[in-house]
């Protein structure tokens, strides 16, 4: 009965008032409702993980979706573009193809174009990459003493993209507080959402 128009005093607009409302809502839920909401949240998380693992199996790539983090591939791809990858080992790597590769000593995969391919008679392939917007090839990015990439270095090959959809990921990486606030809001929403 205290949640009408008269309850909107100055303390309601403060951060402390919002936190008290959240804890008040949690206290009013009975245990069964709380367990149901926690289970609902766990189902959402496990469903997302199952979809991700399914994409890994279908695409053959350990990372089937990646976000472009730099402008080195402009104008083909811009910062924040979401790339869809496949990595079928039977597909040959050809010059002009855009690959995502990971090299020793670097945690973040790199999205660049293959500019040269050396194919040996025994089927071994070595290739060189370069960002479309870069002046020089990627030999400076490879591990020390490495002049060429091999198929084992490839995480995936770009098959499609959605422009700028990955900007949310970039913002969350650049501003960690925003990421934690967004996760807290989403978690609170799932826990407090009641069936209508």
86 confidence band (pLDDT: 50, 70, 90): very high
Per-residue pLDDT tens digits for 53-69:
999 999 999 889 999 99
Single pTM value for the model: 0.69
Q: Is 112 a catalytic residue?
A: yes
Show the tokens assigned to 103.
């090299």
The phi and psi torsions of 140 (rounded to 5 degrees) equal -70, -20
d(Cα 34, Cα 31) in Å, to the nearest integer? 5
Q: Determine the 3-state secondary structure of 82 from DSSP.
A: strand
Per-residue pLDDT tens digits for 126-158:
999 999 999 999 999 998 889 999 999 999 999
Q: In the prediction, which pLDDT does 53 show?
A: 94
Query: Per the residue annotation, which of 72, 81, 89, 118 is the catalytic one?
Result: 72
Q: What is the mean pLDDT of residues 37-53?
A: 90
Of the candidates 96, 105, 112, the one whose C-alpha atom is nearest the C-alpha of residue 155 is 112
Q: In the prediction, which pLDDT does 3 show?
A: 45
More confident residue, 139 or 21: 139
Q: Is 70 a catalytic residue?
A: no
Query: Per the residue annotation, which of 61, 81, 112, 153 is the catalytic one?
Result: 112
The phi and psi torsions of 80 (rounded to 5 degrees) equal 100, -5
What is the residue-averaged pLDDT of the chain?
83
Q: Is 153 a catalytic residue?
A: no
d(Cα 73, Cα 61) in Å, to the nearest integer? 21
Q: In the prediction, which pLDDT does 1 show?
A: 40
Cβ contact 109:100 at 8 Å: yes
Query: Per the residue annotation, which of 61, 81, 138, 153 is the catalytic one?
Result: 138
Cβ contact 154:91 at 8 Å: no
């Amino acid at each position: 009965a205290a949640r009408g128009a008269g309850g909107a005093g100055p303390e309601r607009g403060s951060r402390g008032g919002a936190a008290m409302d959240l804890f008040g809502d949690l206290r009013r839920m009975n245990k069964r409702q709380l367990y149901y909401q926690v289970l609902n949240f766990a189902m959402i998380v496990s469903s997302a993980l199952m979809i991700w693992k399914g994409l890994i199996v279908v695409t053959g790539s350990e990372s089937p979706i990646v976000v472009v983090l730099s402008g080195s591939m402009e104008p083909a791809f811009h910062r924040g573009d979401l790339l869809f990858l496949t990595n079928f080992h039977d597909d040959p790597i050809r010059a002009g193809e855009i690959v995502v590769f990971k090299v020793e000593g670097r945690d973040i995969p790199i999205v660049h174009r293959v500019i040269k391919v050396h194919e040996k008679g025994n089927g071994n392939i070595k290739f060189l990459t370069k960002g479309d917007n870069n002046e020089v090839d990627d030999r400076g990015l490879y591990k020390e003493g490495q002049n060429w990439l091999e198929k084992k270095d490839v995480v995936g090959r770009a098959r499609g993209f959605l422009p700028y959809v990955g900007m949310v990921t970039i913002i969350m990486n650049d501003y960690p507080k925003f990421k934690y606030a967004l996760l807290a809001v989403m978690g609170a929403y799932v826990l407090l959402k009641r069936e209508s």
